[in-house]
Amino acid sequence: MRKNGWIELVFHTLFILFILAPLVAVVVVSFTDKGYLSVPTDGPSLRWFKAIFQYPGFIDAFWTSLYLAFASASIAVAAAIPAAIAIGRYRFPGRESVTAVFMSPLMIPSVVMGVSFLRFFSEIGLSGTFIGITMAHVILVMPYALRLVLASVTGMPRDAEQAAETLGASRWTVFRRITLPLILPGIAGGWLLAFITSFDEVTMSIFVASPQTMTLPVRMYHHIAQTIDPLIASISTVLIVMTVVLMILLDRLYGLDRVLVGKG
Q: What is the pLDDT of residue 35?
A: 78
The model carries a pTM of: 0.84
Amino acid at 31: F
H-helix or E-strand containing 216? helix 216-226
Question: Cα dist. 204→18, 138, 260 in Å?
Answer: 28, 12, 26
Distance CA 230, CA 19 (A): 21
The answer to whether 17 touches 25, Cβ cutoff 8 Å, is no
Q: List average pLDDT for each run of 10 residues in the chain, which is 264 residues long.
A: 72 89 89 81 82 88 93 94 87 86 89 91 88 93 90 80 79 83 85 90 90 89 86 89 83 67 53
Q: Could you give all domains of the chain from N- to C-terminal order, each with its CATH number?
A: 55-261 (1.10.3720.10)
Burial 169-188 (b: 16+ CB within 10 A, else e): beeeebbeebbeebbbbbbb
Give CA 217 to chain center in angstroms: 13
Q: What is the pLDDT of residue 260?
A: 61
Rg of the Cα atoms in the chain = 22
For the chain, the first-to-last Cα distance in angstroms comes to 24
Distance CA 176, CA 183 (A): 11
H-type alpha helices, 4-129: 6-29, 47-51, 56-89, 95-103, 110-124
Using alpha carbons, select from 230, 147, 247 the residue that is nearest to residue 194.
147
Burial class (CB in 10 A: 0-12, 13-18, 19+), 115: middle
Q: What is the pLDDT of residue 62?
A: 92
Using alpha carbons, select from 199, 150, 153 the residue that is nearest to residue 179.
153
Q: What is the pLDDT of residue 264?
A: 52
CA atoms within 13 A on the CB side of 64: 26
H-helix or E-strand containing 1? none
Question: Cα dist. 48→21, 33, 92, 209, 242 in Å?
Answer: 21, 7, 57, 26, 17
Q: What is the pLDDT of residue 4?
A: 67
